[in-house]
Structure 1
Amino acid sequence: MKKIIPIEEGDFYWTPEGYRCFTEQYHLKRGYCCESGCRHCPYGYNKKN
């Protein structure tokens, strides 16, 4: 079971297209890479490789 991480200010922003984009702050708080190719992934995952 995955741990629920409360959303705090600075964890995400809305893109011009209307999507929620999680920041590096949130990813570090979560503690692991989901391998989805997130825009601000601090773990160095590259979906193209």
Structure 2
Amino acid sequence: MDSSSSNIANAITPTMKDSKKPLPTSALSSEDFYFNEQGLMVFTKKYHLKRGYCCGSGCKNCPYPKD
């Protein structure tokens, strides 16, 4: 796997800091993400609100307060 494929895989693999909170099971819609200039998937504010909590990974569009 080349580095760009690795970056994309890392971008779409969520990091869970609290393993007690499950990932959403519904499929992603086109309103939930976009691809940036580097080809990485970026979740939208709408997706974060649908997920319902901050994962603590410093997501670009996270609507939750930074602690």
Q: Which of the five TM-score ranges fits, normalised by the shorter chain?
A: 0.7 to 0.9
Task: Give the drift of 1:6.
Answer: 1.8
Unmatched 5+ stretches in structure 1: none
Give, as a single letter, the amino acid of the residue that structure 2 aligns with 1:27.
Answer: H
RMSD across aligned C-alpha pairs, in angstroms? 1.6
TM-score between the two structures when normalised by the length of structure 2: 0.61
**Correspondence for 1:29 among 41, 50, 54:** 50
Does the 8 Å CA contact 1:14/1:21 hold for their aligned counterparts?
A: yes
Does the 8 Å CA contact 1:12/1:22 hold for their aligned counterparts?
A: yes
Detail structure 1 runs of 4+ shifted over 6 Å in the superposition: none
Q: Count the aligned residue pairs.
A: 46
The structure where helix makes up a greater share of residues is 2
Counterpart Cα distance in 1 of 2:34 and 2:45: 11
Larger radius of gyration: 2
2:37 is equivalent to residue 43 of structure 1 = no
Could you list the per-position Cα deviations for residues 1-49 of structure 1 after superposition, in whole angstroms to 9, with x for gaps in the alignment? 6142320121000010010000000000000100000000000226xxx
